[in-house]
Amino acid sequence: MSAAGIPRGWEVVIGLETHVQLTTRSKIFSGASTAFGAAPNTQVAFVDAALPGTLPVMNRGAVERAIRFGLAIGANVRRRSIMARKNYFYPDLPKGYQISQYEAPIVEGGAITFTLADGTTKAVRLVRAHLEEDAGKSVHDLVPNVSGVDLNRAGTPLLEIVTEPCLASAEEAVAYARALHGLVRWLDICDGNLQEGSFRCDVNVSVRRAGEAKLGTRREIKNLNSFRFIEQAIAAEVRWQIAELEDGRPIVQATVLFDPASGETRAMRSKEEAMDYRYFPDPDLPPLVVTEAEVEAMRAALPELPEAKRLRYVTELGLPAYDAAQLVTDRAMAEYFEAVLAAGAEAKPAANWLLGEVAAALNCEEKSIEACPVTPAQLAGLLARISDGTISHKIGKTVFEALWQGEAASADAVIEARGLEQITDAGAIEKIVDEVLARSATQIADYRAGKEKALMSIVGQVMKASGGKANPQQVNEIIRRRLANGG
């Protein structure tokens, strides 16, 4: 097996189609709310239920979000794009067609850069991103023996983002999906809520013998709404396809579902049953026209993008590639980081604390960085006391916890109230050292016999006796000096 979990002699080719739910308050063609979780069919305008005589009217907020995305990934934003009808019958599709884009999508091309665990980066080329409406939902468990349809979701605006088939492993696919997820949240065009289906991936997977030029036959894994499932589903699909081919059975193009319980993919329908969607331009909606001025205004209003920040963190702040990539996965995290720097902290310790203590604490309480009880200024104050030696890194954690609990308004106040200031008075430390040495004959003997470890034990005891406040470096030096002097 290679590092990416792919058997030697095989190559994997992956492309993703991601449905990103846009953050407009109302639906793409009606004024009904897009809020999640309402009682079935309570957020349905006449247009959404496709009553006779109703007509769609485009929500400009959805168009603007699509344009913002296009500009952020360096794509071509079409000044004139076409809404098209995709015709098929299904109970959750009230009009009998989905309004989407076909021949002239609003966003074409562009690329998204992602960083792998080893810090290397890769760019994924996008084919397109197009606007479309979501369908409703079939409901099978509300009334016994009767299937129903909930149209609350029908007409929710989506941006479907399609990559080229250029990802080579599950790891790359997940890294891309995470980067995309971070970007759409960064741009504030999607809330990124995976559980509620705001970010759903269809993954096209094919395999081929290493060195072969022609792509293998692909199968499409539908509707994956977690990064873990993406990874597991691709792994399962790759295993299955390779096993089939090695057994001499050709792959048949198909749509498949991933069952997280069994960890397997299974086919829904094969290509032979593929539908003819009879796409044609929707005569109810004039071409989407975007003026140069509108595009330029939106370009000017774009925030600094994660990729630009990442590069800046590496080149200007000297952060390691991995740290920089981690900090820009979330815009609020990056903004917090920059606020800590603005309050006077140095980049590397600030990054270490954010990605270490802060991230762990947030994780533990399932809080987002926006809800972090410790402010950037408080954190910067804490870091300043560590760097000027007032407290040790370890005491810093105690101070951080106190700040988290809201014990005091600043690190200084915590240090003062709790008397946590580091002991740097050599006389005071020497006193403690002498006390400890007096009852450490065994360790002293071991140390003199060449066991360096014994020294650490003595240091530990001194630190403990000082309540953790003694400057560890001073402690170390004093003990060495004492023992070298022969006691």
Partner 1 sequence: MSVAGTQSGWDSFATVAQTKRALEARQVSAEELARHYLARAEILNPTLNAFITLDPERTLAEARAADARRARGEDGEAAPLLGVPVAHKDIYLIEGWRTTCGSRMLANFVAPYTASVVESMTRAGMVTLGKLNMDEFAMGSSNETSYFGPVRNPFDLNRVPGGSSGGSAAAVAAGLAPATTGTDTGGSIRQPAMFCNLTGLKPTYGICSRYGIIAFASSLDQAGPFARTAEDCALLLNAMAGHDPRDATSLERPREDYTRRLEEPLAGLRIGLPREFFGEGVDSGVLAAVEGALEVYRALGATTVEISLPNVKYSVPAYYVVAPAEASSNLSRFDGVRYGHRAAEYDDLLDMYKRTRAEGFGAEVKRRILIGTYVLSHGYYDAYYLQAGKLRRLIAEDFKRAYAECDVVMGPTAPETAFAFGAKSDDPVKMYLNDIFTICANLTGQPALSHPCGVDAQGQAVGLQIIGNYLDEARMLAIAHRFQQATDWHMRRPALEPMRASMAGGAA
Chain contacts with partner 1 (rule: CB under 8 A): 46, 49-58, 85, 87, 89, 91, 94-97, 149, 276, 278-280, 283-286
Smallest separation (angstroms) from partner 1 to the CB of 165: 22
Whichever of 49 and 420 has its CB closer to partner 1, that residue is 49
The DSSP string of 402-464 is HHHTT--SSHHHHHHHHT-PPB--HHHHHHHHHHHHHT-HHHHHHHHTT-HHHHHHHHHHHHH
CA distance 417 to 157: 54
Min. distance of Cβ 56 from partner 1 in angstroms?
7
Shortest Å, Cβ 132 to partner 1: 16
Beta carbon nearer to partner 1, 20 or 288: 288
Closer to partner 1 by CB, 55 or 252: give it. Answer: 55
Q: What is the DSSP letter of 373?
A: S
The distance of closest approach from Cβ of residue 55 to partner 1 in the complex, given in angstroms and rounded to an integer, is: 5
User: Which is nearer to partner 1, 94 or 381 (by Cβ)?
Assistant: 94
Tell me the C-alpha distance between 317 and 230, whole Å: 34
CA distance 135 to 459: 66
Question: How far, in Å, CA of 169 to CA of 304, rounded?
Answer: 29
Question: Among candidates 282, 346, 358, which has minimal Cα distance to 319?
Answer: 346
Nearer to partner 1, 143 or 261 (CB): 143
Buried b / exposed e over 307-326, threshold 16 CB at 10 Å, is bebbeebbeebebebbbbbb
Least distance (Å) between residue 379 CB and partner 1 = 50
In the complex with partner 1, which residue's Cβ is closer, 134 or 237? Answer: 134
CB of 89 to partner 1, least distance (A): 6
Of 189, 195, 191, the closest CA to residue 59 belongs to 189
Closest CA to 150 of 292, 36, 280, 55: 36
Residue 266: CB atoms within 10 A of its CB come to 12
Closest to partner 1 by CB, 106 or 423:
106
CB under 8 A, 24+ apart: contacts of 297-301: 298/64, 298/67, 298/68, 298/71, 299/71
Query: Rounded to a whole number, what is the distance in angstroms from the first to the last CA of the chain?
Result: 59
Between residues 88 and 228, which has the closer beta carbon with respect to partner 1?
A: 88
In the bound complex, what is the minimum distance in angstroms from residue 285's beta carbon to partner 1? 5
State the angle between helix axes of 170-186 and 331-342 in degrees (0 to 180), rounded to the nearest 10.
Answer: 70
CB of 147 to partner 1, least distance (A): 8
Cβ 90 to partner 1, closest distance in Å? 9
Residue closer to partner 1, measured from CB, 1 or 39: 39
Give the three-class secondary structure for 94: coil
Phi-psi region of 74 (alpha: psi -120 to 50; beta: other; left: phi over 0): left
Whichever of 271 and 278 has its CB closer to partner 1, that residue is: 278
State which amino acid sits at residue 254: A
Taking the complex as a whole, how short is the minimal distance between the CB of residue 157 and partner 1, in angstroms?
Answer: 16
